[in-house]
A and B are shown apart, each in its own frame.
Chain A
Amino acid sequence: MNLASVKGLARYRALILPTAILTLLVWGAAIVTRVNLATLVDGIPRGVALWRHMFPPAWDAFSELLAPALETVQIAFVGTVFGVLFALVVGFVAAANINSNRIGRETARGLLSAERALPDLITLLLFVAIVGLGPFPGVMAVALSSVGMLGKLFADAIEEVDPRPVEALGAIGATKAQIIRFAVLPQVLPSFIANSMFRFDINIRMSIFLGAVGAGGIGFHLVSAVRLLEYQAALSAIVVVLVLVLACEKLSDIVRTKIFGQAVLR
């Protein structure tokens, strides 16, 4: 055994333990999740058959799906608006350069962190327990789940503002509210809008998923169609969902380039 191959082997020694652990985990996970390649292979002809059942999409279903699609968008929209409003309030409270009260700030940041840890489904079930089924709990779930992320993004943006104009205005007698309006807001508005649009995108997807769980909208129709074996209607619903997602992404892209492209900001 020459020196070169010994040295080569030594380099790999460090990898032995992690590789062994990884293999063990993968193998264990495969057992727990009942990975079965035979099922997968069987699934292929079934997949083909499924595709043949689904295609072409049910053309008459499209007109019926417009209303639920609209509902999904509205849930995401209203939820995002409420979420943004709450996030603005909490965001300002959590920002070090606005709120000199340390306890208040840390509490706000803590609440935002806690909300981010809450899975969406749990918030939905929570609201369903309060107001019953339908789009209303969906809206509230969307709103609540947005506050954590948006609140943090807003607070961070506020804290990253150039502090010198803030101090300059403070030096000549402006009140806190005036300073926020004239020195902080102009700096932070473009990023507020961009972040809100980003969250709206996420909320559209969330709204679709929540619909599947009972909040109404196109998610619900999609799941029903599959459960009732109406595969062509399901394909129609899928097409509508894809169009929705792509349209919202495009919209959010347009708004964001417009904002960073010109002087939005007064």
Chain B
Amino acid sequence: MRTLRIPTQVHPPVYYERWYRRWFWVGVIFAVVFAWSLASLNINLRLFWEGIPHFLRLLSEMFPPNWAVFTRGRVLWSILEALSMAFLGTFIGAILSFPLALLGAKNITPSPVVRALAKGLMAAERAVPTLIIILLLVVVVGLGPFAGVIAISLGSIGMLGKLFAEAMEDVDPKPLESLTSTGATRLQVIRYAILPQVLPSLVANSLYRFDINLRAALFLGVVGGGGIGFELHMAMNLFRYRDALAITVMTLGVVWLAEAISDRLRRQIIGRELLQ
């Protein structure tokens, strides 16, 4: 049914378009692209259906989880490695982001060129997937968690820099003005007027990034950066399913615990700040 157009003498014409007409072309393009993608990816739902009994058999082979895998030491150590990578990486990343954020904040850096460069750098880093960073780092500093730490540090600069800069721009300008008017240098203003106001949110944002980095750290092992992903992958490939389940459960537990602690800390910090 075509769009209804009702001509009148006194009033402007009225249009009524039914939904399928409005969305027609979008719908067609979408459907075509979707069908084509399904075909070229060989997505065959029958495969899924046939895979289910196979999967159920797998599940039965996974129970009960083999907790003994942790006595071998390597696995437990990998989890510790992942936690340390995430922690150190976030820490270093935050330290590196701080000066970059200062350069990008409107109320601290007057030069728009410098600000644009800083923000551009941060945006560019955000665009680069951590995968690329870790692959290159492994070539340069070798396999292992050290590469992971550097990758996580560098990979956090984009997001933390942006969040920090925004926090700095949101600061109450009065202490800044009063300090500058008494002749304080830029550095002193930062140290005494900005830092105290912005510290809680810096810590909160870093904790947020820590959560993200922990998940990444756990799995960097698969591409060579240390962490539990390697162990898990190995276990699955060697058909040691009971080990795999144990590792998975432990990993999930660690992630859940770390995120819960990080959330508690964040809430405490933000809560205290609100009270101020």
Contacts and interface: CB of A to CB of B under 8 A. Distances in A.
A–B touching in complex (CB under 8 Å): yes
Interface of A: 25-26, 28-30, 32-36, 39-40, 42-43, 46-47, 50, 70-71, 74-75, 77-78, 81, 117-122, 125, 128-132, 134-136, 139-140, 205, 208-209, 212-213, 219, 222-223, 226, 234, 238, 241-242, 245-246, 249, 266
Contacts of A50: 136, 139-140
B45 to A, nearest CB: 9
Nearest to A30: B88
A62 to B, nearest CB: 17
Given A33-B84, A33-B148, A122-B248, A242 B141 contact: no
Given A122-B248, A212-B131, A226 B87 contact: no
Contacts of A266: 17, 19, 22
Nearest to B236: A125
B224 to A, nearest CB: 9
Contact of A130 (B37, B51, B84, B127): B51
Interface of B: 17, 19, 22, 33-34, 37-38, 40-44, 47-48, 51-52, 54-55, 58, 80-81, 83-85, 87-88, 91, 127-129, 131-132, 135-136, 138-142, 144-146, 148-150, 215, 218-219, 222-223, 226, 229, 232-233, 236, 244, 248, 251-252, 255-256, 259
A33 B145 contact: yes
Contacts of B251: 119, 122
A32 B145 contact: yes
A75 B41 contact: yes
Contacts of A119: 215, 218-219, 251-252, 255
B131 A134 contact: no
A66 B88 CA distance: 37
Contacts of A249: 127
Contact of B41 (A32, A46, A74): A74
A34 B143 CA distance: 11
Nearest to A134: B42
Contacts, number: 156
A245 B40 contact: no
Contact of B255 (A36, A43, A117, A125): A117
A32 B145 CA distance: 8
Contact of A78 (B37, B141, B229): B37
Contact of A32 (B19, B80, B232, B252): B80
B140 A25 contact: no
A230 B59 CA distance: 40
B146 A39 contact: yes
Nearest to A264: B22
A33 B244 CA distance: 24
Given A131-B47, A213-B222, A35 B146 contact: yes
Nearest to B34: A81
Contact of B223 (A35, A139, A212): A212
- Which of B51, B131, B138, B233 has the most chain A CB atoms closer than 10 A to its own CB? B131
Contacts of B40: 70-71, 74
Given A39-B142, A266-B22, A245 B129 contact: yes
Contacts of A121: 218-219, 222, 229, 232
A129 B60 CA distance: 13
Nearest to B148: A33
A35 B149 contact: yes
Contact of B37 (A77, A205, A222): A77
A11 B87 CA distance: 27
B242 to A, nearest CB: 14
Nearest to B86: A29
Given A78-B41, A139-B41, A209 B146 contact: no
Contacts of A32: 80-81, 84, 145
A141 to B, nearest CB: 13
Contact of B88 (A29, A132, A205, A208): A29
A135 B48 CA distance: 13
Given A78-B43, A119-B218, A131-B51, A209 B88 contact: no
Contacts of A120: 215, 219
A136 B127 contact: no
Contacts of B37: 74, 77-78
